[in-house]
């Protein structure tokens, strides 16, 4: 399998390619710049976050993504116990979903713990941490694409590497 640095490099090369396409597309076609810019920033932010923080390799005991979480890396240890390496966490469809649900669950647990410790009313618990003004189709699709693409690139590069390695052994 390619190492963590190789996966990061592939994701960075891909995002530079996307930047170039969007720049050319933006020059050729003019449209509502504000909506497109917000969606683009959401895509870039989620793509970078997914590349460095939500790697499919979070199911390993030690990896770069866990290190990137700093003092919060401990929250990923249950994840690495639940999911076996190259199992569902490397699935093209379900891998990113498992990590998103896991992060969302951790946020909710932190919120519940905070409300319990501070003796605040649970009616104030905010299950959606995103401003509703930003919840539109473009932004949601940009977020999903930004989370999924690095994972897809990671998984496909693993599969390609493994396939080439097997062919060379024959």
Within 10 Å of residue 52's Cβ, how many Cβ atoms? 17
For the record, the structure tokens of 127 come out as 């299950």
pLDDT for residue 132: 63
- 16-65, pLDDT tens digit by residue? 888 787 777 665 565 566 777 788 888 999 999 999 999 888 888 778 88
pLDDT above 70: residue 67 = yes
User: Which residue in this structure is represented by tokens 């519940």?
Assistant: 112
pTM: 0.81
Distance CA 149, CA 20 (A): 16
Helix, coil or strand: residue 83: coil
For the record, the structure tokens of 26 come out as 């933006």
For the record, the structure tokens of 152 come out as 């897809």
Mapped to the 3 state alphabet, what secondary structure does 28-77 carry?
Answer: HCCCCHHHHHHHHHHHHHHHHHHHHHCCHHHHCCCCHHHHHCHHHHHHHH
For the record, the structure tokens of 68 come out as 């990137």
- 126-159, pLDDT tens digit by residue? 655 566 666 778 888 999 999 999 999 988 888 8
pLDDT for residue 65: 87
């Amino acid at each position: 399998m390619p190492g963590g640095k190789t996966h990061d490099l592939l994701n960075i090369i891909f995002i530079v390619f996307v930047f170039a396409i969007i720049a050319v597309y933006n020059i050729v076609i003019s449209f509502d710049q504000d909506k497109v810019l917000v969606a683009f920033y959401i895509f870039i932010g989620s793509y970078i976050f997914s590349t460095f923080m939500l790697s499919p390799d979070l199911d390993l005991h030690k990896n770069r993504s866990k290190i990137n979480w700093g003092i919060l890396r401990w929250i990923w240890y249950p994840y690495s116990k639940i999911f076996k390496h190259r199992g569902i966490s490397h699935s093209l469809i379900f891998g990113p979903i498992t990590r998103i649900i896991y992060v969302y669950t951790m946020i909710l647990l932190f919120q519940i713990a905070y409300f319990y410790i501070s003796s605040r009313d649970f009616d104030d618990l905010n299950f959606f941490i995103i401003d509703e003004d930003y919840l539109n189709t473009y932004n949601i699709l940009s977020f999903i694409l930004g989370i999924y693409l690095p994972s897809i690139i990671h998984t496909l590069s693993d599969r390609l590497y493994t396939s080439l390695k097997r062919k060379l052994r024959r």
